[in-house]
Structure 1
């Protein structure tokens, strides 16, 4: 076969632009559509739009022919490259519609007679993140500090982030000139404290004495520096939480959006309907995000957490006036059989993996009459709710907490009661 003939066949097989309508949302914020018999998910497309798309692998949005009312110009100048956000092109109302749609689609798979209406907890879509981890690269002799490009290890160099609090962006701008003189930093953790910014530099090799002094001289920063898990500088990070002060370490779980977290905690406490004499189990209790306010309300609370260090710091932070109503235990919540007979209410706030083992136990604990489940993953939430509903619980309230605007991530709060 001649090369000319092969070239002709190859051109015939190449995907060609197709004009079509976007029909629905995909689970990861893409637009779902059909091209012939193929169902495609196109990043950057919004349901209701008419677009030109290249049906390749992956499919590529070429042009928006008829735009959705919820489409906007991405407010972040790095949106086209940075993989930190997936929904910058969608206005806040459209983002919430996508997240609520995804939640109800997952939960309707439970085959329930009905679901309560989805309540929405939302706030500003910019300047909300109080913590972040940024990658650092010196590849090719050029400093890059930022988040990774979508589906790539390439670091997108940024000078600021639309989602970060102004204090964190200011800290980043102050740090970058010093980083440019080094080749020893792999990651930076940033955390907004009450009056400072916590900065953690993860090193790949020791800093010189002069470089260390320059970093320590930066104003309004609580500096931590580590090399191979050993602390070189370990300035305490103190975080105010529900009227108490907690010592926070990089890697500890802390909700990134403090405003939404406060509203989420308030909603959970309202749904728990706490009364004096209630005995509450708080699973995946962390540093006491829910435990402390529940104890303040008068309940007797036991927080169960898998990290010994977090249990120790949460215990140290307990104020004297509630110390007789709150305690913490270090437990493997993915494998341990727990004694649940003494609790009449429970709260779960697991990681993305969910709490299947724990839900199997709670479904059999007839004494637990009221349960609030806080989830960061809709698929594992649906799995765990199936277990709880089969065990005699019914879903009474349902709320979407927009913890991470401009991304596909969100939190869900569910109230379940014994039927």
Structure 2
């Protein structure tokens, strides 16, 4: 007897085509700025985000995306400009995805970021709801970046376009230090000749405090020594070819003398291209000074520095006489940091631990002061441990993401900490990115 086959009807009706996007020109009044720097308006009882628009402006815009709860529009014209509107100095602004606020005067950019931090603090603590804005640390509004990470594809070297993987070719960026722009203009042709028209690669430029600029390339495929040496010979000082890494085979290594990153007038960190260093040296130095003022390191006392990296804050704390335990993940990085501390005769012990895993977090029982400088993901696990600690009395939290800062401050507040002071640090002028420092003490 043959078995009967039962067929299941798997037919699915075709999806309804999306309705055509309304191409009508919208007349909008911009009420405020969103956290990402876009103008916020309302139309047909929905929020509309308009990139490049400023508060109190009347603009013409057109839908580019429609969502259930909000819409997005592109700016066509500004019929009534705001007083704080300025002309962007970059010819590829609003095509390149690097900047979002060049059309906003710099004092207004600073105020915008202070207000964002103020809202985070108000949400975290009833003691910070005053109208007083947090103080601001600022530096140069252009030419502040000491390193740059560019992409290369189909013969174009540049930065990714807004909301796209396409590249915008760049040979001069107003955010980069003059030395980096000089290398870009002098070396782009040689880099393109080396990589060819079809390659995909990443090009990292890093400026040392002695003026040298290291060039590091990561590319698909093999790396050939002879061609790499030819590129090294074609680079013009202050540029030098540090290394070329391929997805296959061995890497090519050139001059590997360490670069130097100045954390103060007296101290410099040795680093290699690809290491994390704060892009804005002048603002970073002021941040270190502010952290020192809050922590008040005393001779012989123990201070814990979490997410310590190469020792950006550890060196300053130890130079003031404190004993420092620096904790982060990355054995090679911590080994180099330890060698630097030893060479300077500083009392710093570096430990390797995953600070996103609570089981790996150890608090020294004699450490009453803690500094943490986490990445954008924040420090949820660490803050939960700190909130339960009975010994830690003072925390300085250095944040690069307001959302995770708000979450972590709420955790610390539940543990009995209160915000004593806060400062906005404008690490990334012309962008919406917000760096902040928060001083907390136990109630």
Distance 2:277 2:29 in 1: 41
Partner residue, 1:7 = none
The answer as to 2:434 corresponding to 1:410 is yes
**Which segments of 5 or more consecutive residues in structure 2 lack a partner in the other structure?**
1-18, 66-71
Distance apart, 1:260 and its partner CA? 0.5
Secondary structure class of the residue paired with 2:437: strand
The answer as to 2:247 corresponding to 1:232 is no
Segment drifting more, 353-362 vs 199-208: 199-208
Deviations 1:382-404 (A, max 9, x none): 00000111111110111000001
Distance apart, 1:348 and its partner CA? 0.3
Partner residue, 1:279 = 302
Match of 2:272 among 249, 257, 270: 249
Match of 2:202 among 187, 192, 210: 187
Distance 1:266 1:180 in 2: 42
Partner residue, 2:14 = none
Segment drifting more, 199-208 vs 21-30: 199-208
Match of 1:293 among 313, 316, 322: 316
- TM-score, normalising length from structure 1? 0.91
Secondary structure class of the residue paired with 1:363: helix
Partner residue, 1:100 = 114
Distance 2:431 2:59 in 1: 22
Partner residue, 2:380 = 356
Distance apart, 1:210 and its partner CA? 4.7
Distance apart, 1:257 and its partner CA? 0.5
Match of 1:397 among 409, 421, 434: 421
The answer as to 2:115 corresponding to 1:124 is no
Deviations 1:264-310 (A, max 9, x none): 11111111122223210000000110000000111110000111111
Distance apart, 1:234 and its partner CA? 4.1
Secondary structure class of the residue paired with 1:88: coil
Distance apart, 1:122 and its partner CA? 0.7
Distance 2:252 2:127 in 1: 58
Partner residue, 1:47 = 55
* Structure 1 ranges of 4+ moved more than 6 A: none
Deviations 1:129-151 (A, max 9, x none): 0001000112xxxx211100011
Distance apart, 1:221 and its partner CA? 2.5
- TM-score, normalising length from structure 2? 0.87
Partner residue, 1:215 = 232
Alpha-carbon RMSD = 1.9
Partner residue, 1:86 = 100
Secondary structure class of the residue paired with 2:87: coil
Distance 1:245 1:291 in 2: 12
Distance 1:63 1:392 in 2: 51
Partner residue, 2:13 = none
